[in-house]
Structure 1
């Protein structure tokens, strides 16, 4: 990975702000703005999963043929899973499926990236905060519709 660590960290942490903002918005807001936060969270989660899957796809040519095929299949599988989760049109189910997609993406990356290093640590932190945001979002939905 030839990405400057400080830039990647800044962009990664900034990318958590919509997750956190939308999740808090579901708790704190009402009416139309709350509905926008509910939908925005799911769309943003889907977009980030597609972005992450695209990074797997884009890095595949740098791998040996034996590792390239699984990388391409996982990248496509994550996107298909995420879109199908989103299409359930059930926000609680969709959020939990998207959260599983984020965890699956991280699991694959941790099992294919070299041990140690700043990028591995960053991806783990970012995913864990995103997962927490998904849990906050899901809790808000349960609170709204007991």
Structure 2
């Protein structure tokens, strides 16, 4: 487990992650409310060129970003309000995946194994207020992910 000291460190991790991601990738962000999922997404989107702060997609469910505001297409997805995994098919995320990065908050709402090739980031709020970060690296990421 890696420790992220504060919100700035969480966003900095997202900015670092932006150096590794590419269109076609899926990055899932799991954790309780306030754990830092959106902070990682904001850091990543800023590093990809997004001016200003990225809003949380909680109500829109899918917040798209397109060049020139970012280097390549990104869909920031928040599945918190999804009650039935069948609703995810209506979002047509798999169609967008070929040319976009998918950043998915609350991926557990899709059901187990929905994106088996996703880089899986898990965030916890530690007793001292820091964030604990665990990473699940799938085979597709092994050559890119530092050991």
Same-fold status (TM-score > 0.5):
no
Q: Shorter-chain TM-score: what band?
A: under 0.3
| Greater helix share, structure number | 1
Instruction: Tell which structure's C-alpha radius of gyration is larger.
Output: 1
